[in-house]
Structure 1
Amino acid sequence: MSAHASAAESRISVRDIRHRKGGAPLVCLTAYSAPMAKLLDPHCDILLVGDSVGMVLHGLPSTVGVTLDMMILHGQAVMRGSRRALVVVDMPFGSCEGAPETAFANAVRILQDTGAQAVKVECAPAVIPNVRYLVERGVPVMGHVGLRPQAVLVEGGFRARGREEAERRQILEEMRAAVAAGVFALVVEGVAESLGSELTAQCPVPTIGIGASAACDGQILVTEDMLGLFETSPRFVRRYADLRALVASAAERYALDVAGRRFPASGETYFSSKRRPGTPVVDIPAG
């Protein structure tokens, strides 16, 4: 049995998530690295390796510049750091919009190279046939409707959706199309609260809200937003920590100690290179 298969058996499964519709809320957060995944894993049902990594870790202005190789690299890291949660990897911009065979090849590469259990696809109408193509060939797909970050160039920025009746109808139709294509769960991002509630009531698979509604079947946040690592964050984010201040304070204190020659202290250095006769030499790895 492969290491990927063995790990998958002990994790929360796609089937488990699907059966949580209307049950205990799903706890979901983003993760991009092994250390963070290890910290989050005991508390989460789903860890999403989101293409938000481009903005959060790589300083990109949007998710459009994120590549398949980037998603695989971060997906591998999250799989190494987690044991319990279902791991879902975003299909980045351009990886699911072409020919269905190409979309399938990209999805297969993500699953095979990372060991993750599912991919997430932003469900624009033109992509729905490819979502169905993936599901029919054994690729579990989580959908995404409402505010679609990969469409930021078309939609003119990040803005809440579903305030106008025509837009509400459009998003509800996108939900129905995604469900008909076979998604096992659906992220609902940046929509009017009433629409989030209505969509959840009509959707037969679990909805996972981000800036949507408390009525959703689960919630997700970008972990770095939740931890307060950025100066500003969307209005729907609740900050559960202020790590930005903690990191800045720690870096300042470190700089002062280095400048004042208070670091390293005697207990933080290795023995002198001058050794007593008969003392064995022990190689200590750096770091």
Structure 2
Amino acid sequence: MHTTLTLRKLKQERIPIAMMTAYDAPSAAACAQAEMDLLLVGDSAGMVIHGYTSTVPVTVEDMILHTRAVKRGAPGVFTVTDMPFLSCSGSRNEAVSAVRRTIQDGGADAVKIEGAGEFVPLITALTEGGVAVMSHLGLTPQSFAVLGGYKVQGKSEKSAGRLIEDAKQVEEAGAFALVLECVPGELAAYIASILSIPVIGIGAGSRTDGQVLVYHDALGIGNGHVPSFVKAFAHLEPSIHTGLSEYVKEVKDRSFPDASHTFTMPASILEKVITGAGI
């Protein structure tokens, strides 16, 4: 299993880091079999698993449940868990308690915290306390309402400068890695070049230190909106629909289950049971 040190070594050796979201044991096991470097138990589960329209309704309890499942499916893969909406925005004690539960009860190897600013002192406190923290800047989905929607970040001189400063701050605070989401590729490449920690991109071009995608987007599962920066590496949705439709058809016409899918018992025993002789 990777550690924060081996991940930094991958950056130093210019070996790209492959990261994928996972929400349950089967998806985690599939990622482990593919030799994924990192797993992210994302609060995107709120949309792709729970059917919410955003990540906002997701709770710490939800993330703990998903993390437990992921660690059972891929115990040997370094796993980062998102701290959900407002879980780190209260008092320092409340934030630390939420993080503690995510690690101790959920089994996460690290946590991911969206934003800089007010969260920088918390990142410092957590890392000094022995918690591995991944930062997340650019488009931060938990703050989509404040950002004016799901839009590319860092396009203006002012916002790009702020993003660079925020990236420096979270590194100085002790973050072991940074996710940059929906950021111009040129800006993301520059930030990756000035930081010593790995920069993982999503919608941030090819010149970051690694990439992360949502499991369902990457495999073509679901019919929801897929961002333009996503590439589907498989298209499973049509196969799923075909399989489910065939199942319904065969149940309706009684062709399933057939003899090969049915257990049997001797007719003599059934006769005795029916007549009550064997009871």
TM-score by length of 2: 0.92
Q: CA deviation at 1:229?
A: 1.0
For 1:19 and 1:73, locate their aligned partners in 2 and report how far apart those are by CA, in whole Å: 31
Deviations 1:138-161 (A, max 9, x none): 111001011000101211211111
The DSSP-based 3-state class of the residue aligned with 1:19 is helix
The answer on 1:55 being equivalent to 2:57 is: no
Give 5+ residue unaligned stretches, structure 1: 1-10, 278-287
The answer on 1:265 being equivalent to 2:262 is: no
Q: CA deviation at 1:173?
A: 1.1
For 1:224 and 1:262, locate their aligned partners in 2 and report how far apart those are by CA, in whole Å: 32
For 2:267 and 2:143, locate their aligned partners in 1 and report how far apart those are by CA, in whole Å: 64
Q: Which residue in 1 is equivalent to 2:5?
A: 15
For 2:67 and 2:268, locate their aligned partners in 1 and report how far apart those are by CA, in whole Å: 47
Q: CA deviation at 1:30?
A: 0.2
Amino acid across the alignment from 2:66:
H
Q: Which residue in 1 is equivalent to 2:229?
A: 236
Q: CA deviation at 1:19?
A: 2.1
Deviations 1:192-248 (A, max 9, x none): 111111111111100000000211101000010000113331111111111111100
The answer on 1:188 being equivalent to 2:180 is: yes
Deviations 1:243-278 (A, max 9, x none): 11110010111111111111000110111474559x
Amino acid across the alignment from 1:261:
R
Percent identity between matched residues is 39
For 1:193 and 1:24, locate their aligned partners in 2 and report how far apart those are by CA, in whole Å: 18
Query: 1:40 aligned to 22, 31, 35, which one?
Result: 31
Q: Which residue in 2 is equivalent to 1:218?
A: 210
Asked if the contact 1:208/1:217 (under 8 Å) is kept, the reply is yes
The farther-off stretch of 103-112 and 12-21 is: 12-21
Amino acid across the alignment from 1:40:
C
Amino acid across the alignment from 1:17:
L
The DSSP-based 3-state class of the residue aligned with 2:10 is coil
For 2:47 and 2:190, locate their aligned partners in 1 and report how far apart those are by CA, in whole Å: 30
Give 5+ residue unaligned stretches, structure 2: 271-279
Q: CA deviation at 1:125?
A: 1.0
Amino acid across the alignment from 1:25:
P
Q: Do the aligned partners of residues 166 and 261 (structure 1) sit closer, same or farther apart at CA in structure 2, a change above 3 Å counting?
A: same
Aligned residues: 268
Q: Which residue in 1 is equivalent to 2:275?
A: none
For 1:21 and 1:185, locate their aligned partners in 2 and report how far apart those are by CA, in whole Å: 10
Query: 2:246 aligned to 253, 257, 267, which one?
Result: 253
Q: Which residue in 1 is equivalent to 2:277?
A: none
Q: CA deviation at 1:83?
A: 3.0
Asked if the contact 1:14/1:117 (under 8 Å) is kept, the reply is no
Query: 2:22 aligned to 31, 53, 59, which one?
Result: 31
Amino acid across the alignment from 2:137:
V
Asked if the contact 1:14/1:86 (under 8 Å) is kept, the reply is no
Q: Which residue in 2 is equivalent to 1:8?
A: none
For 2:198 and 2:234, locate their aligned partners in 1 and report how far apart those are by CA, in whole Å: 28
TM-score by length of 1: 0.90
